[in-house]
Structure 1
């Protein structure tokens, strides 16, 4: 099976993405191509890390002309907003999700292996191992979403109800979100086709009617509640040990060492979310310590 490794990134995460690429070139096995999905103004920067198995894709080749980025006037131009006639202004994390979904209509690989730019691979891994008898492993944590979630999961679930024509959801609900997940490319295309048939418009217009959306929940619920699990086998074993919140560990290198010690035996990498404030030099150091 051929694998499209998919990373949506931006300039502020460039050095983290470089570390990801270094670890991927060392640890990732098999037949894969790495697609870096970035905004047009970041293309030149990210071309520095292109290679024989890695290529930069501009969002202008993936998203419609009517969805475009402008400087955010409230940030003195440091951040961007994505504007369109069909939605309230979107943020970068919205655009990154749309890029990942859109890529499915532009590639021939059977597997889409989504890897966030703040992930570092620490163990050897071949993505073909995600397939079992023609079915792809779908990350699903059963009943993990409850009333007291610390993020916007309930809004994301409600959005996927409307988008997919399913539901209403009930709690506890299944969680499909992780920083290392795999999709079937043909299933992702079928998802976009389903949205367009149901809503009678471009799938992006349907998705961005609300800013509260999660592409992982949309894909996972499409597989389980529209396609009834076809072509997939669910697993609660996440491939990535993720540091989601800034109050989980001490915000210094000792906290990172503590976090690293809790990596599971079957996890292949770590993900230190860029917004939790850990210094990239410290992340590099603990990775080097583990390799020594």
Structure 2
């Protein structure tokens, strides 16, 4: 057996929502080997209480080269941490989280990984047994989703193809960004090797010098252009996660309505942190959802969730 491992890169400001993720994983996710939280070294003590027999907290330094070091906390911009080196301009914690996903998927002793960002919350049971090696794993691909009027996405599209040494496709182009993303270890290693062969430098240095990149676009387009990697994946148009990417803060009523629109195969939701939706609101809605599931399992009458 080769159970899937869970990967979550996170940091101190996301402690509260990451705690909710971990609680929901413990409650709803089965058939996985371990859940790894990848955190800046300075945040290890904050996340230590989340460690368990199946959850390990790993410092970022375990996967980063010695030449890439965090700047002191006092040197921050908009409360964001940066890493510096003599080889490239400083990179943000967001860039480092992407690098950590790749490095961990290459290094940890598992064949398959399910990547969960901190803001994902499970509200239904999710069994990972079907994604074990050597089964194929889903590759999210949303066709014609990247357009020329999306400056960040279009730039990531360009840099992904430059790093992979393949021609950039015309717009509209496919998108591979989403939630509950599966990666294969051998594919990730082959991706890093391709970047090094194309750029003539280590893959981490290449990403630090590029700065504007998306790890999911890199992985997706690599699989799309590599026949050996493609056979390990099955292309899917969506994942089992409801994603809320908008700015307005969600009220409890609005969050309940969002979950009410869930498809039968949706098992989790993700509320973008920039929406400002309070974690306590999310926690209340999840608690109500769990209570309803428990009542159904016990055969008890089930009322509608509170809309106040």
Name the TM tier (shorter chain). over 0.9
What residue in structure 1 maps to residue 243 of structure 2? 242
Equivalent positions of 1:1-292 (< 5 A) are 1-71=2-72, 75=76, 78-130=79-131, 134-149=135-150, 152-227=152-227, 229-247=230-248, 251-292=250-291
Residue 169 and residue 86 in structure 1: after superposition, are their counterparts in 2 closer, same or farther (change >3 A)?
farther
Check the 8 A contact 1:131/1:137 in 2, yes or no: no
Check the 8 A contact 1:112/1:182 in 2, yes or no: yes
> What's the C-alpha RMSD, in Å, of the aligned pairs?
1.9
Distance 2:211 2:161 in 1: 14
Distance 1:260 1:16 in 2: 18
- Give unpaired runs (5+ residues) of structure 1: none
Q: CA deviation at 1:101?
A: 0.4
Check the 8 A contact 2:140/2:238 in 1, yes or no: yes
- Give unpaired runs (5+ residues) of structure 2: 292-308
Deviation string, structure 1 residues 153-183 (Cα, Å, up to 9, x no partner)? 1010001011000122211111111121101
Q: CA deviation at 1:48?
A: 0.9
Residue 83 and residue 288 in structure 1: after superposition, are their counterparts in 2 closer, same or farther (change >3 A)?
same
Residue 256 and residue 69 in structure 1: after superposition, are their counterparts in 2 closer, same or farther (change >3 A)?
same
Q: CA deviation at 1:262?
A: 2.2
Distance 2:278 2:30 in 1: 29
The TM-score with structure 1 as length reference comes to 0.93
Deviation string, structure 1 residues 109-150 (Cα, Å, up to 9, x no partner)? 11110001111111111223236973221111122212233x
Deviation string, structure 1 residues 77-115 (Cα, Å, up to 9, x no partner)? 943111122222211111100001001232121111000
Secondary structure of 1:142's counterpart equals strand
Distance 1:73 1:251 in 2: 33
Check the 8 A contact 1:9/1:96 in 2, yes or no: yes
User: Higher mean Cα deviation, 220-229 or 72-81?
Assistant: 72-81
Distance 1:133 1:86 in 2: 39
Secondary structure of 1:112's counterpart equals strand
Secondary structure of 1:270's counterpart equals strand
Residue 251 and residue 134 in structure 1: after superposition, are their counterparts in 2 closer, same or farther (change >3 A)?
closer
Q: Which runs of 4+ in 1 moved over 4 A?
A: 72-77
Check the 8 A contact 1:8/1:117 in 2, yes or no: yes
Secondary structure of 1:222's counterpart equals helix
User: Higher mean Cα deviation, 123-132 or 102-111?
Assistant: 123-132
Distance 1:199 1:74 in 2: 31
Distance 1:230 1:194 in 2: 18
Check the 8 A contact 2:6/2:32 in 1, yes or no: no
Q: CA deviation at 1:75?
A: 4.5
The TM-score with structure 2 as length reference comes to 0.88
